Amino acid sequence: MLDLTGKNALVTGIANNRSIAWGIAQQLHRAGANLGVTYLPDAKGRFEKKVGELVTPIAPTIFLPCDVQDDEQIDTTFATIAEKWDKLDILIHCLAFANKEDLSGDFSATSREGFAKALDISTYSLIGLSKRAKSLMKDGGSIVTLSYLGGVKVIPNYNVMGVAKSALEMSVRYLASELGVQNIRVNAISAGPIRTLASSAVGGISEMIRHVEEIAPLKRTVTQLEVGNTAAFLCSDLSSGITGQVIYVDAGYEIMGM
Ligand code: NAD
Ligand code: 0WE
């Protein structure tokens, strides 16, 4: 049975009730995990209040701001974990960002700054978080990140995020190779398109979802809770032999050529 009792899980990337990270957090909670939640702070503290209210039912024992572009906030997060939990078992990396102007039009127009920002937030953050997590994962552990097909094949307008996801998937393999001796497994879930805060800010997401519903073997898209179930599996002992992999949770879309 899928059992995460006695496991401590840090979940990043919850912005609202549509976030994939929220689907994952709910399934980890259902499987019995003890949760810690970090959110991206904003000047008015609105996210702290909104995310705080949202996660009340899953009773996180750690709830902290963590902007992954700020090493001090990352250090504070892991210092708090070291202080409050005897060990860390699970790290969920579920965040990404690129400037809006870099998610449409000519890929060759991507600016140096836009490239650096997208790869810093969407890719380097997995490395920075894993570096701190590994010393707290005393009984081994599981690290799970979220990717997208646009890191492997060209998806119109995904542009610099495609490069970020490609580098993210390769980072998963290098991290898995390094951390295996500590029995820390590292995997990615490549999810099909889901309506969330991030995807809804992108033009044409509804057409993309309709296209997937037509082409995918299951004739539908996937939900945040389905991604959450696969994340729970990857965090549990049921997947003890799996590391360095990218698992597609996309209703089968990735296998299709036409
Ligand atoms: P979302 O907007 O709910 O989540 C994105 C999160 O990134 C937000 O919580 C936001 O606060 C966080 N974030 C952005 N910049 C940050 C920073 N500097 N520091 C800390 N957090 C920061 O959208 P989502 O669709 O749930 O995205 C979650 C993950 O899933 C992303 O990696 C995304 O690429 C991936 N993904 C999404 C889809 C989709 O169609 N929605 C498909 C495949 C993969
Ligand atoms: O990874 C993502 C979304 C990533 C994302 C979205 C935004 C919108 C708002 C990163 N940064 C930003 N920055 C913003 O200012 N997805 C997989 C969802 C997504 O995004 C697309 C897609 C799909 C699918 C962008 C273009 C084409 C398809």
Residues whose CB falls within 8 Å of the CB of residue 244, separated by 6 or more in sequence, listed in order: 172, 173, 176, 177, 186, 187
Mean pLDDT of 184-195: 98
Ligand 2 geometric centre to CA of 248 (Å): 18
**Ligand with an atom nearest the CA of residue 156:** 2
Ligand 1 geometric centre to CA of 198 (Å): 6
Mean pLDDT of 19-48: 97
Residue 45 main-chain phi, psi, to 5 deg: 70, 20
What average pLDDT does the structure give for the chain? 98
pLDDT score of 214 more than 90: yes
- Catalytic, out of 158, 174, 248, 253: 158
Percent of the chain residues past pLDDT 90, beyond the cut: 98
Known catalytic residue at 39: no
Residue 152, CA atoms < 13 Å, CB-side half-sphere = 12
pLDDT in tens, 244-253: 999 999 999 9
What's the CA gap between 31 and 232, in Å, rounded? Answer: 8
Percent of the chain residues past pLDDT 70, beyond the cut: 100
What's the CA gap between 33 and 35, in Å, rounded? Answer: 6
Q: What is the DSSP string of 76-94?
A: HHHHHHHHH-S---EEEE-
- CA distances to 11, 15, 23, 90, 177 from 63, in Å: 10, 13, 17, 15, 31
Q: What is residue 27's predicted lDDT score, i.e. its pLDDT?
A: 98
Q: What is residue 93's predicted lDDT score, i.e. its pLDDT?
A: 99
- Catalytic, out of 39, 148, 248, 253: 148
Q: pTM score, two decimals?
A: 0.99
Q: What is residue 203's predicted lDDT score, i.e. its pLDDT?
A: 86
pLDDT bracket for residue 55 (50, 70, 90):
very high
pLDDT score of 232 more than 90: yes
Q: What is residue 120's predicted lDDT score, i.e. its pLDDT?
A: 99
Q: What is residue 1's predicted lDDT score, i.e. its pLDDT?
A: 85
Ligand 1 geometric centre to CA of 5 (Å): 27
pLDDT in tens, 67-97: 999 999 999 999 999 999 999 999 999 999 9
pLDDT in tens, 99-139: 999 999 999 999 999 999 999 999 999 999 999 999 999 99
Domains and CATH numbers, the chain: 8-251 (3.40.50.720)
